[in-house]
């Protein structure tokens, strides 16, 4: 049963990484990166490394994803302001 959980989480990590690279919408790519990183954190936790899972969840899925989303949103709004003037 646990092997199935490992395989599903590994596929989720790979799917999130693939989606982050190949999705053309940057906001959706950043969300996919966060989902893949959260799955990786859960995989770390299940493999017996709770501190590594916690750090991955807080930094990888939390901080980095939020910074990417904010940066993408600010860049898009600045691009719209330059187009209007």
**Residue 48: inside a domain, yes or no?**
yes
pLDDT of 41 above 70: yes
pLDDT of 54 above 70: yes
Rounded CA-CA distance 78/20 in Å is: 23
**Residue 29: inside a domain, yes or no?**
yes
Domain count of the chain? 1
**Residue 16: inside a domain, yes or no?**
yes
Rounded CA-CA distance 28/71 in Å is: 13
Chain segment 66-78, per-residue pLDDT in tens = 899 899 888 888 7
Per-residue pLDDT, averaged over 3-28, amounts to: 93
**Residue 67: inside a domain, yes or no?**
yes
Q: 50 is in which domain, residue-wise?
A: 2-80
Rounded CA-CA distance 8/2 in Å is: 10
| Structure confidence at residue 19 (pLDDT) | 95
**Residue 85: inside a domain, yes or no?**
no
Q: Cα–Cα distances in Å, from 40 out to 4, 26, 66?
A: 15, 21, 17
């Amino acid at each position: 049963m646990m092997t199935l959980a490992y395989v599903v989480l590994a596929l989720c990590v790979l799917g999130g990484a693939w989606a982050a690279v190949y999705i053309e919408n940057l906001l959706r790519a950043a969300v996919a990166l966060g989902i893949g990183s959260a799955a990786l954190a859960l995989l770390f936790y299940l493999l017996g490394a709770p501190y590594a899972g916690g750090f991955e969840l807080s930094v990888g899925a939390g901080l980095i994803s939020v910074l990417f989303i904010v940066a993408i949103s600010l860049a898009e709004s600045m691009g719209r302001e330059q187009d209007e003037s």
